[in-house]
Amino acid sequence: MEDYNSLLDRAIKNIPEDASSTSRIEIPKVTGRIEGNKTIINNFNQICKFFNRDVQHILKFLLRELATPAKLEENRLIFGRKVNPALINQKLQEYGDIYVFCQDCKKPDTHLITEGDKLYIKCTACGARNYVKEKL
Ligand SMILES: [Zn+2]
C-alpha cells in the first residue's frame, strides 16, 4: 500500500494551486456623479476596453436593462435620470457574465462569433466555445 499512498500523495501535490480558485476577475466599477436629474459616468470607455466589446453593444444592453435613455458624449456616458451606480455595476456584471466571461475558465479573454443567427463566445485563453442564449 505504500506505493499507492505515495502515488496519491504525488497526485494531490500535482494539482495546480489555481485549479480550485476560479476567482472572478473584477470588472472596473463605474465612477461618476449625479448632476441634477442626470447620471454621468466618466469611465465607460475603461469598462468597454476591459470587456473588449463594442461600445454600442454594451450601451444597448444597459439601455434595455435600465430602461433609461442615455447618450455618449466624448468619453462620458450620460443617463437621463438618476441611476444608482450599484445598479449600473450589477448590470455590467450581468453583461460580463453573458457576453464576456468564458463559461469554462471565467477569463475575459474572449470574443464573440456570429454564425447564422447564433452567437458564441470564443475563449482565447482555454479555447472553449459557448453558445450565448441571450439575444440583444
Ligand atoms: Zn476559457
Task: Output the domain CATH number for residue 60.
Answer: 3.30.70.3150
Whether the per-residue pLDDT at 95 is higher than 90: the answer is yes
- Cell numbers 444592453 label which residue? 61
Range(s) of the domain holding residue 38: 26-100
- Same domain? 75 vs 30: yes
Alpha carbon of 64 to ligand 1 centroid (Å): 27
Give yes or no: residues 34 and 91 share one domain. Answer: yes
Residue range 26-70, pLDDT digits in tens: 999 999 999 999 999 999 999 999 999 999 999 999 999 999 999
What is the distance in A from the centroid of ligand 1 to the CA of 123?
5
> Is 59 in the same domain as 117?
no
pLDDT top residue among 98 and 9: 98
**What is the average per-residue pLDDT within 2-11?**
66
Domain match, 62 and 124 both? no
pLDDT exceeds cutoff 70 at 13: no
Q: Phi-psi region for residue 106, left (φ > 0), alpha (ψ -120 to 50) or beta?
A: left
Three-state DSSP at 87 gives: helix
Residue 119 scores a pLDDT above 90: yes
Q: What is the CA(109)–ligand 1 centre distance, in A? A: 7
In-domain check, residue 75:
yes
